[in-house]
């Protein structure tokens, strides 16, 4: 027992000494984790050190020539041919550091590198301080790179944001500080950088902007601050084009100069109050002589928006810049705009010409007549008017709801938020097809289409085309272009319609190659923006606009062009305050159009639109269409431009204009139009709007024995102008066409004896619709054997003064069996067998004439009388009996041995 207890006690003691397995596990994990992190840190240091050493070993050498001479960047066109070179040192003067005024040196140090004279090439404090300075003092107040680093980057490296480049930049900056003095480094910097407007280095910049020789004349603090602010973004801060931005940048530099004690607060206030326009001199002509300046400005804009390329790289980085420029197209564009006969010197135009298939910009055109230049083609925004309709209304309707081009849309008075939506002609049509609405640019159908499509689908569709619209833009009147856009955006959007629905972002740069051989591909990826049926159906309707609608001024013979017009109006307050006419004026005029090869959007308006108007009576609102036509026709010369190809997803179907349904057999041809439908969405219902018209009434046929012909006659069934199609069948044979005539009677000559003729007459309307046919028939008597004629006594002459005595005729007629015993004239009698004719009141051929028979009383059975059927009174013969009294000399329409003609009732 004691032994057992002692064993138990020993176990308890041992258990107390040993930690639990759970606690041991936790401590073990922590220890392992710590050891792992230590190992990884050490490995990281070693690996980082190895990597850093590898980066440093790959760094270029400090080349004195490259350090002092900017490397020229080369611009190449779409064919990879050199267009121009951005010149380096050989195109400018340089200055020694002691020739540069202190105020200029201090201005640059204040804004670019406040501890330039203290650091050893890199500034650890500056890296962290730059973040804080940009937040508290505004963007651009301080950069992270020192002046030394900028010299290295601009001379030997690229602006690529990679670890390798940063390591090499830091290493070479330290090495540069070891081999050169601070003044030498600052001299390199000031003589090397680009200041915009073709100005290289501080000497050229002072001459360009102030007309001063910096080595002989002092610059004011304001002038020094303006120059110091330019190198960061020479194009954006260009005082000639963007005076407001340049002034803001200058004032930021002045504030930093005051902070650094370079100038006093009073001096800062004084020079901040000065207008930039009052500081600078007029730009010399040699600085404006660049034929491709408008295009190159867009090149620079695109490049500086790329995070791995700075504007300094562009002008002094030795880059090879491969652009999309078509020099021929640009020369044409520049010449056309420069020589266009504007009726008002204040009118401005801006346009972009691009490749429909790729989005590559071929040319940019602008009228640059202002000291403060607005880039109308690429950044100047205006409302696009009706050119927005395919993008905001009709395109989304086809894409999302598979509308046909013949879709009937309501065109009635419409009020939106208290404003009346009106068509340009102030008329409404009740219903109008989508094709007609876009052809004639009616506003009400476009807004109604937008309301049916909805804001969200319309916005999504437009933004796939690069429009960049926001929710605030998506009001119903957006369908008629109340948002802001540029020719650049409109060109890109319209090109997608011509490219089968694929959108390519408009661009001027294909790629950039750096001095070390590395390159950046800048061509955007194509985006499928819509279905091919939407693109084709919009293109087909826009062809109608150019062929017969509002865009006929842009029509080019032999070239398949699709396009849309657009205009905007001044508001009522502007019209009243400016005293503008209340009609016949517009604020902006647009034309956006394309072929399968080129796309172009043209804007025409004013720099100060509220002070001017385009006068429609002078054709000023047609300027955009005419510029489009001239440029497009010239750039398309020698180009094999195909028409837009209909995809398999689209079918063409004939429908009624007014209903959009399938036409019936009786729909007039002029009411049938051929419209496009998305396959599988064609109408399945036939219209019952039109019924078969009545065309022919009272059709009758009569045989004429004397001429052996058949006479047809009829009357129009309706008060319409018909063409009559006459068909004939003989003895039950097939119907054969006789003629088509506009008359209501016809004679059939040389009738066949003993044959039965059937006739069918169909009226055809001017629209090509056939009416119900009317039918009738007639029997032609068989030819009888002729009896020998009995001798006839010669007729005695009749004394003209004595009345001729009637004679009696008793010859038996040869007519069918009906008995005729009608009385003849006053003294004569008829006793032959004759055929009683249906009309009982036909008048005799020679009513009241004497001598109705020959004296001998012999009747001529081959002649018929045509007197009153009952009495024959005054008739040529007694009654209508064949072979009646006398030898009548008159024929009637009733032939011997022929039953009466019968007419079938209309079907």
Active-site annotation, residues: 112, 386
Number of helices (H), then strands (E), belonging to the chain: the values are: 26, 30
Contact by Cβ (8 Å): 400, 533? no
What is the chain's Cα-based Rg?
50
CB atoms within 10 A of CB 711: 17
Tokens of 408: 């009937």
Tokens of 756: 């039965």
Q: How far is CA 465 from CA 358, 446, 725, in A?
A: 14, 19, 56
Query: What letters, b where the CB count within 10 A reaches 16 and e where it falls short, cover 869-882?
Result: beebbbbbbbbbbb
Q: How far apart are CA 427 and CA 423, in angstroms?
A: 6
Q: DSSP letters along 48-75, please?
A: HHHHHHHHHHTSPP--HHHHHSPBPEEE
- Alpha-carbon dihedral of residues 182, 185, 191, 197, nearest 10 degrees? -100
Contact by Cβ (8 Å): 644, 619? no
Q: Where are the beta strands (DSSP E) in 99-140?
A: none
CB atoms within 10 A of CB 304: 18
Cβ-based neighbours of 669, under 8 Å, separated by 6 or more: 767, 768, 769
Contact by Cβ (8 Å): 774, 748? no
Q: Residue 856: how many CA atoms within 13 Å on its side-chain side?
A: 12
Q: How far apart are CA 293 and CA 287, in angstroms?
A: 10
Write the burial class of residue 753 (CB in 10 Å: 0-12 exposed, 13-18 middle, 19+ buried): exposed
Query: What letters, b where the CB count within 10 A reaches 16 and e where it falls short, cover 390-406?
Result: bbbbbbbbbbbebbbbb
Q: How far is CA 855 from CA 146, 524, 803, 806, in A?
A: 146, 115, 12, 7
Q: How far apart are CA 735 and CA 777, in angstroms?
A: 12
Instruction: Label the pairing between strands 73-76 and 320-323.
Output: parallel
Degrees, nearest 5: CA angle 237-240-246: 30
Cβ-based neighbours of 95, under 8 Å, separated by 6 or more: 187, 190, 191, 201, 202, 203, 214, 215
Q: How far apart are CA 115 and CA 109, in angstroms?
A: 8
Q: How far apart are CA 66 and CA 715, in angstroms?
A: 102
DSSP category for residue 181: -
């Amino acid at each position: 027992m004691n032994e057992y207890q002692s064993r138990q006690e020993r176990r308890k003691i041992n258990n107390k000494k040993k930690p639990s397995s759970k606690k041991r596990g936790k401590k073990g994990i922590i220890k392992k984790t710590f050891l792992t992190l230590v190992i990884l840190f050490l490995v990281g240091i070693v690996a980082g050190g190895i990597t850093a050493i590898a980066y440093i070993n790959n760094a270029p050498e400090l080349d004195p020539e490259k350090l002092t001479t900017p490397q020229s960047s080369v611009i190449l066109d779409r064919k990879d041919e050199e267009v121009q070179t951005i010149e380096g040192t050989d195109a400018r003067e340089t200055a020694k550091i002691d020739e540069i005024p202190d105020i200029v040196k201090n201005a640059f140090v204040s804004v670019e590198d406040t501890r330039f004279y203290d650091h050893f090439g890199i500034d650890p404090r500056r890296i962290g301080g730059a973040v804080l300075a940009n937040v508290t003092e505004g963007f651009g107040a301080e950069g992270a790179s020192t002046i030394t680093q900028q010299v290295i980057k601009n001379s030997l490296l690229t602006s690529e944001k990679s670890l390798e480049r940063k390591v090499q930049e830091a290493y070479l900056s330290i090495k540069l500080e070891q081999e050169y003095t601070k003044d030498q480094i600052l001299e390199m910097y000031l003589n090397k950088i680009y200041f915009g407007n073709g100005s290289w280095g501080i000497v050229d910049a002072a001459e360009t902007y102030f007309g001063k020789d910096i080595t002989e004349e002092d610059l004011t603090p304001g002038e020094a601050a303006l120059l110091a602010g330019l190198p960061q973004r020479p194009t954006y801060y260009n005082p000639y084009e963007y005076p407001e931005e340049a002034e803001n940048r200058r004032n930021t530099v002045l504030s930093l100069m005051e902070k650094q004690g370079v100038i006093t607060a009073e001096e800062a206030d004084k020079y901040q109050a000065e207008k930039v326009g009052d500081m600078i001199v007029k730009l010399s002509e040699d600085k404006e002589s660049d034929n491709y300046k408008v295009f190159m400005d867009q090149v620079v804009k695109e490049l500086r928006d790329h995070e791995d390329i700075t504007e300094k790289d562009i002008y002094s980085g030795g880059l090879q810049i491969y652009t999309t420029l078509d020099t021929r197209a640009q020369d044409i564009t520049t010449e056309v705009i420069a020589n266009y006969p504007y009726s008002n010197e204040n009118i401005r135009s801006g346009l972009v010409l691009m490749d429909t298939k790729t989005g590559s910009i071929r040319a940019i055109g602008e009228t640059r007549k202002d000291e403060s230049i607005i880039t109308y083609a690429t950044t100047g925004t205006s409302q696009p008017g009706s050119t927005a309709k395919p993008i905001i209304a009709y395109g989304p309707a086809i894409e999302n709801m598979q509308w046909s081009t013949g879709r009937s849309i309501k065109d009635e008075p419409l009020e939106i938020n208290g404003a009346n939506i009106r068509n340009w002609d102030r008329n409404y049509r009740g219903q109008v097809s989508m094709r007609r609405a876009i052809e004639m640019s009616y506003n009400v159908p476009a807004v109604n289409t937008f309301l049916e499509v909805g804001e969200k689908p319309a916005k999504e569709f437009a933004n796939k085309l690069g429009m960049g619209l926001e929710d605030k833009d998506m009001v119903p009147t957006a369908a008629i272009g109340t948002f802001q856009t540029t020719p650049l955006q409109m060109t890109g959007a319209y090109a997608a319609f011509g490219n089968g629905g694929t959108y390519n972002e408009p661009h001027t740069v294909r790629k950039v190659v750096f001095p070390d051989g590395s390159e950046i591909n800048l061509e955007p990826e194509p985006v499928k923006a819509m279905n091919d049926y939407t693109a084709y159906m919009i293109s087909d309707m826009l062809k109608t606009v150019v062929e017969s609608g509002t865009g006929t001024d842009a029509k080019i013979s032999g070239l398949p062009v699709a396009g849309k017009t657009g205009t905007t109006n001044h508001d009522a307050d502007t019209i009243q305050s400016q005293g503008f006419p209340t009609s016949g004026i517009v604020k902006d005029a647009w034309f956006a159009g394309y072929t399968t090869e080129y796309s172009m959007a043209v804007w025409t308006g004013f720099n100060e639109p509220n002070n001017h108007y385009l006068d429609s009576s002078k054709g000023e609102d047609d300027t955009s269409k005419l510029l489009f036509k001239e440029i497009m026709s010239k750039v398309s010369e020698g180009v094999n431009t195909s028409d837009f190809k209909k995809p398999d997803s689209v079918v063409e179907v004939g429908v009624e204009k007014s209903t959009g349904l399938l036409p019936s057999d009786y729909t007039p041809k002029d009411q049938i139009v051929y419209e496009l439908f998305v396959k599988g969405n064609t109408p399945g219902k036939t219209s019952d709007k039109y019924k078969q018209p009545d065309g022919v009434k009272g059709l009758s046929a009569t045989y004429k024995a004397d001429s052996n012909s058949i006479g047809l006659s009829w009357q129009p069934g309706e008060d319409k102008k018909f063409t009559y199609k006459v068909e004939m069948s003989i003895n039950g044979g097939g119907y054969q066409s006789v003629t088509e005539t506009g008359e209501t009677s016809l004679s059939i000559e040389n009738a066949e004896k003993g044959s039965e003729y059937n006739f069918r007459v169909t009226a055809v309307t001017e629209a090509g619709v056939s009416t119900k046919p009317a039918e009738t028939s007639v029997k032609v008597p068989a030819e009888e054997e002729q009896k020998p004629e009995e001798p006839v006594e010669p007729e005695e002459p009749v004394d003209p003064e004595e009345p001729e005595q009637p004679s009696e005729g008793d010859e038996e007629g040869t007519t069918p069996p009906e008995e005729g015993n009608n009385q003849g004239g006053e003294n004569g009698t008829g006793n032959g067998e004759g055929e009683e004719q249906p009309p009982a009141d036909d008048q005799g051929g020679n009513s009241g004439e004497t001598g109705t028979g020959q004296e001998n009383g012999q009747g001529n059975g081959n002649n018929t009388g045509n007197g009153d059927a009952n009495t024959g009174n005054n008739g040529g013969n007694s009654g209508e009996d064949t072979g009646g009294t006398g030898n009548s000399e008159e024929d009637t329409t009733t032939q011997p041995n022929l039953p009466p003609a019968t007419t079938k009732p209309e079907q």
